[in-house]
Amino acid sequence: MELFFFGVADGSARKAIESFAPRKFNVMVNYATAVRPIPRNRGKLFVDSGGFSFFFKLREYPDSHLNYLRYVYRVKADFFANRDYPNEPQVREKWGVTVRENQMKTIENQLKIMDLLDDYYPKLKPRFVAVLQGWTLDDYLWMLDYMREHGLLTELIGLGTMCRRGREQQIRKYILAIRKELPRKYRLHGFGIKFGVLKYKDVWDALYSADSLAYRYHIRKNWQEGISIQEQIERVLSKWVANLDNLFEIHSKQLALEVV
């Protein structure tokens, strides 16, 4: 894995990240929250479409694909995701849709966005990230085959509906199986990948990048009275940074040993 993106969904998280300057952070911004301004000490910027955030309340994306692309262009994103349809059971049950229906709607959005990129923002085309959706492994492999057959794979491909799964081994299994079926010229991004999954060397090697906002959710679950929210985020973020640096070091040493 080469890149890790810290999710930024509010001003407190933004300020906490800026407190680490001059160190730069790769940042993921959710279009549904579109925090402003983006941290000054950002490295790479990834814009997520905000699918789960939108569909937890709404049946459809609330604005046009062109508005989305205008935002991506304005913030100078290095990567931006397709406007996919999440497949968490609670979302599907709420709106009465199937996994396959959401997969096809995700593909339809990709086709529409690719047309808009051709017409209005051709320079953004290399930054566009297709998203594989599903719930079971067979779901993901079906969509991967469909996209491969129809020429819809992009240089970087995101794995959606991963962050709300409770079992690390299941996530690991899915990532490795998808990586095995994907030609090596394509790279994988894991949306919301649990930190514990990244400890596995095979997962680390299978992914080009990953992101998480879990450091922020930790505060909500473990609120400490008498300490400002920003200070709490900074403390948790500091631990995350240390753990991430440690993983980079450990996995690079493992690679070196394997080469020897």
The answer to whether residues 79 and 156 touch, using CB atoms and an 8 Å cutoff, is yes
pLDDT of residue 255: 56
Statement: residue 205 has pLDDT above 50: yes
More confident: 219 or 214: 214
Catalogue the E-assigned strands of the chain. 3-8, 25-30, 42-48, 79-81, 128-132, 156-159, 187-190, 209-212
Which of the four pLDDT bands, split at 50, 70 and 90, describes residue 221?
Answer: low
Which of the four pLDDT bands, split at 50, 70 and 90, describes residue 256?
Answer: very low
Statement: residue 98 has pLDDT above 90: yes
Tell me the mean pLDDT in the region 75-90.
96
Statement: residue 243 has pLDDT above 50: yes
Statement: residue 45 has pLDDT above 90: yes
Which of the four pLDDT bands, split at 50, 70 and 90, describes residue 55?
Answer: confident
Of 104-118, 129-143, 194-208, 209-223, the poorest mean pLDDT is in: 209-223
* Superfamily covering domain 3-259: Queuine tRNA-ribosyltransferase-like (3.20.20.105)
Sorted by where each begins, the domain ranges of the chain are 3-259
Spatial distance between the Cα atoms of 176 and 221, rounded to a whole number of angstroms: 31
Of 72-86, 187-201, 221-235, the poorest mean pLDDT is in: 221-235
In this structure, the number of other CB atoms found within 10 A of the CB of residue 165 comes to: 16
Give the tens place of pLDDT for each residue, 172-183.
999 999 999 999
SS3 state of residue 238: helix
Tell me the mean pLDDT in the region 202-222.
86
More confident: 98 or 165: 98
Statement: residue 146 has pLDDT above 60: yes
Residue 156: name the closest of 133, 129, 125, 192 by CA.
129
